[in-house]
Chain A
Amino acid sequence: MDLINVENIRFEDKISRLFTPARTVFSLGPVNFDLQAGETLAIIGDNGSGKSLLAKLLVGLETPSSGKILLNGLALSTAHHKQKCHDIRMIFQNSTGSLNPGITVGAMLEEPLILNTELNVQERLSKIDNTLRLVGLLDDHKFFYRHMLSDGQKQRVALAKALILDPKVIVADEPFAALDPSVRSQTVNLLMGLQRDLGLGFIFISHNLGIVRHVADKILVMENGAVIESGKTDVIFNWPKEDYTKRLIETHQQLVNSQYN
């Protein structure tokens, strides 16, 4: 059975606060894809093509105007919103901004546990310690405040925050863009490891086609709110069909090839 199944979801923005005022309506979709446990899907496309909006639809921050999202074969509707929050979690584009500066890492991680689980204090603490260790941090980091963390550590805390409720899928908006090369490799390795160990599904948005090619099993290409092409990573990279995709891949390939002359 598929871990996640997205069937024909659409979204229409009538108020148009998401994009330029010149455009009165932005419509997204239809979007269709499925993902198995442990698989990775990358979403690529220009700025403003609707990638971040799609991510928000998947985690339930926006509600699709039609279509279905199935998790393990069960439809997620707004009625199941709470379950959806647990099972599909998001890491935001700017992890610094999404970490509360006034509370410790421990308190930040405890919040969702208090709100969503029946765990007692002891159980919550051990859950926090385990999750910190899972993302390569130390138990002691729960006493840290945001300003005491390096960029890489902030990214790990954001990941810990996403993982604390044992989700099945993680959705990330440009998780690597703000990271430096060595920290970026660490984060990539960490995520691939978690997928192997926990069977986590991973959906991410990225401009970095080098990373996309390395970690994604499947790719979804978006242009002006529509999915124009999707498929297995090496199929998309070797036999892109649409002009836009061809241009993107070709440009990337030229950059890569210019390395060897």
Chain B
Amino acid sequence: MILLDVKNLTLELELAGEWVKALDKINLVINQGQIHALVGESGSGKSLIVKAIVGALPNKRWKITADRMNWRGQDLLSMSVQKRREIVKSDISVIFQNPINSLDPLLNLGDQLKQSINIAALPKHLFWQRNQYKNRRVEELLHRVGIKNHERFLKTYPHQIPSNLLQKFMVAMALASDPKLIIADDPTRGMEVTSKAQILRLLSRVNQVKDTSILFVSHDLLAISSMSHCMTVLYSGQTVETGELQQLRKRAYHPYTQALLDSAPSFRKDLPPKSPLTTLAGTIPTLHHLPIGCRLGPRCPRARKECVVTPSPRKIHGHYYSCHYPLHWAGR
């Protein structure tokens, strides 16, 4: 079943008197029970997509348009703000990039966790057991994310906790409402490998045990491909390729996807130590200087003059790419 279906999401913002497309025709489909990775460099628009989905962008400064943005068949853009908020609150949990900014500094962690516990599972006539029930759930959640000493932990405030522990706590918060989709925005950034592996294992387990879908936002390819089923690659606000991870790994059609895959030395078993890594020249453009047409153009080794027209997505075997001169496609 399709949980989230986003088609041609475009997001414009005003920069020095001009409207620029920070997101340009983004497509994203998330199925029930899937871990879907959203990959892209810093500033490519990953967090903007997340915010657009959950409605966390103020309407004034942004123009958001889309052919559709459906959550389980219901159109999120046309429904009332109130209704949308309810849906997001009950069905979607977000683990934001900066845990310390998304927690209330004045409330201890126990209170914050309790507030987000979903009590729908508690039969109505047992309402008087509500507190007890919440306490039990809190304990269970902390246990699940591997936080020990929970009684002391719950009395502390966000700034007293090291960031990797806080990130685990954010996962517990995300699980508390029993969501259908967890959006994890770069949950392992800057972590050392053992903490990282813990978070990844945790998310994988939730996905397997509860069939919860996960949108995993990151540019850590090693992390992504250890757990994801599907992957959407973003470059400078455009979706360049989408498909099953294994297919993308085997045969990427978009030059940027290939460059991304080549950039992780751990991916390439045959790479002799100290040999130069393949890479693209230049860097991602800023919003002030977006190229016309395919935004990879100025950096793309395959670019030709047709590339000043934005390539539309093409489909092969459930795998979409947007490129005029794709790799492995010499026959055209």
Interface residues of A, Cβ cutoff 8 Å to B: 46-47, 150-153, 177, 180-186, 188-189, 192-193, 207, 209-211, 213-215, 233-234, 247-248, 251-252, 254-256, 258-259
User: Is A213's CB under 8 angstroms from B193's CB?
Assistant: no
Distance in angstroms from A136 CB to nearest chain B CB is 9
Q: Which residues of A contact B265 (CB under 8 A)?
A: 210-211, 213-214
Distance in angstroms from B272 CB to nearest chain A CB is 9
Interface residues of B, Cβ cutoff 8 Å to A: 41-42, 162, 164, 190-194, 197, 200, 219, 221-223, 225-227, 249, 259-260, 262-267, 271, 273-274, 276-281, 283-284, 286
Distance in angstroms from B250 CB to nearest chain A CB is 11
User: Is A185's CB under 8 angstroms from B263's CB?
Assistant: yes
CB<8 Å pairs between A and B, sample of 10: A47-B162, A47-B192, A180-B219, A181-B259, A181-B260, A182-B283, A189-B276, A207-B190, A255-B193, A256-B266
A259 with B190: in contact, given A151-B283, A182-B280 (CB under 8 Å)?
A: no
A184 with B284: in contact, given A214-B273, A255-B193, A255-B222 (CB under 8 Å)?
A: no
A153 to B281, CA, bound (A): 12
A251 to B188, CA, bound (A): 14
Q: Which residues of B contact A213 (CB under 8 A)?
A: 265-266, 273
User: Is B192's CB under 8 angstroms from A183's CB?
Assistant: no
Q: Top 5 nearest A-B pairs by Cβ distance?
A: A210-B266, A185-B279, A180-B41, A181-B263, A185-B277
Q: Which residues of B contact A183 (CB under 8 A)?
A: 41, 283
Q: Which residues of B contact A153 (CB under 8 A)?
A: 283
* Other-chain residue from B191, B226, B227, B284 in contact with A180 (beta carbon distance below 8 A): B284
A258 to B192, CA, bound (A): 18
A233 to B274, CA, bound (A): 12
Q: Which residues of B contact A177 (CB under 8 A)?
A: 190
* Other-chain residue from B41, B193, B223, B226 in contact with A181 (beta carbon distance below 8 A): B41
Distance in angstroms from A203 CB to nearest chain B CB is 16
* Other-chain residue from B262, B263, B267 in contact with A259 (beta carbon distance below 8 A): B267
A185 to B267, CA, bound (A): 13
Q: Which residue of the partner chain A has the closest CB to B285?
A: A150
User: Is B276's CB under 8 angstroms from A254's CB?
Assistant: no
A184 to B219, CA, bound (A): 12
Distance in angstroms from B302 CB to nearest chain A CB is 15
Q: Which residues of A contact B260 (CB under 8 A)?
A: 181-182
* Other-chain residue from B191, B193, B271, B284 in contact with A209 (beta carbon distance below 8 A): B193
User: Is B193's CB under 8 angstroms from A180's CB?
Assistant: no
A182 with B279: in contact, given A210-B222, A259-B225 (CB under 8 Å)?
A: yes
Q: Which residue of the partner chain B has the closest CB to A234?
A: B273
User: Is A181's CB under 8 angstroms from B264's CB?
Assistant: yes
A152 to B192, CA, bound (A): 22
User: Is B42's CB under 8 angstroms from A151's CB?
Assistant: yes
A150 with B283: in contact, given A180-B41, A182-B263, A251-B194 (CB under 8 Å)?
A: yes
A60 to B222, CA, bound (A): 36
User: Is B278's CB under 8 angstroms from A185's CB?
Assistant: yes
Q: Which residues of A contact B273 (CB under 8 A)?
A: 213-215, 233-234
Q: Which residue of the partner chain B has the closest CB to A179?
A: B42
With A151-B42, A258-B225, A259-B267 given, can you name 15 additional A-B contacts, CB distance below 8 Å?
A150-B283, A150-B286, A152-B283, A181-B259, A182-B259, A182-B283, A183-B283, A185-B263, A209-B193, A210-B264, A210-B266, A214-B273, A256-B222, A256-B266, A258-B226
Q: Which residues of A contact B223 (CB under 8 A)?
A: 255
Q: Which residues of B contact A182 (CB under 8 A)?
A: 41, 259-260, 263, 279-280, 283
Q: Which residue of the partner chain B has the closest CB to A209?
A: B193
Q: Which residues of B contact A188 (CB under 8 A)?
A: 277
Q: Which residues of A contact B191 (CB under 8 A)?
A: 207
Q: Which residues of A contact B200 (CB under 8 A)?
A: 255
Q: Which residues of B contact A181 (CB under 8 A)?
A: 41, 219, 221, 259-260, 263-264
Q: Which residues of A contact B267 (CB under 8 A)?
A: 259
A196 to B221, CA, bound (A): 28
A251 with B221: in contact, given A177-B190, A180-B41, A214-B265 (CB under 8 Å)?
A: no
Q: Which residues of B contact A252 (CB under 8 A)?
A: 193, 266
A214 with B197: in contact, given A180-B284, A181-B260, A184-B263 (CB under 8 Å)?
A: no
User: Is A255's CB under 8 angstroms from B283's CB?
Assistant: no
A126 to B230, CA, bound (A): 51
Q: Which residues of B contact A254 (CB under 8 A)?
A: 197, 226
Q: Which residues of A contact B192 (CB under 8 A)?
A: 46-47, 207
A182 to B276, CA, bound (A): 13
A256 to B197, CA, bound (A): 11
A214 with B271: in contact, given A180-B41, A255-B193 (CB under 8 Å)?
A: yes
